[in-house]
Amino acid sequence: MLRDRGRIKWTAMMLPEHVGQLREWQKEDYFQQRQQPDEQQLEEWDLQFQKAVQMNLPIAIAYWKGPEVLIGKGFIGKIDLLEGVVHMKNEAGEAHRIPFVDIKSISDFE
C-alpha cells in the first residue's frame, strides 16, 4: 500500500517564498464570488430592516469586506439612504457602518 505524505514531502524542496504563496492560494479557496441580489431579495431585506427598526430587534447582517464575508450582529441605529449605509451597534456598543452594496444576506439574530 502506498503511504503518501502529500504536500509535506514537497515543502522541503521549496523556497520559503513558494510556501508562502501556496498558503495564500489555499486561503483563496474559501473566498466566495460576489453576487448581486435580485429584486425579490431586496424587498425581503427591506421588510427585515423595517421590522428590526420598528420593534428594536437584533439582526445579523452578512457583508462583503474585500473577498471575505463578515457577519455583523446587533441593533440597527439608523438607515442612511443618502449615503447608502446601515449604522449598526453590536452588543458591546461598537458602531459599524455597512454599505448597502456590500450586504450579502440578512437574518434574525437572537
Assess if CATH 1.10.8.420 describes domain 39-108: no
pLDDT at 2: 57
- In three-state secondary structure terms, 30 is coil
Low-confidence ranges of the chain (pLDDT < 70): 1-12, 30-32, 110
Q: How many CB atoms lie within 10 A of CB 83?
A: 11
Q: Is the pTM of this model over 0.85?
A: no
Q: How far apart are CA 81 and CA 93, in angstroms?
A: 23
Helix ranges, 29-77 (H): 39-55
* Sheet-wide strand order for 68-80: 95-99, 85-89, 68-80, 59-65, 103-108
pLDDT at 30: 67
pLDDT at 87: 92
pLDDT at 68: 83
pLDDT at 33: 73
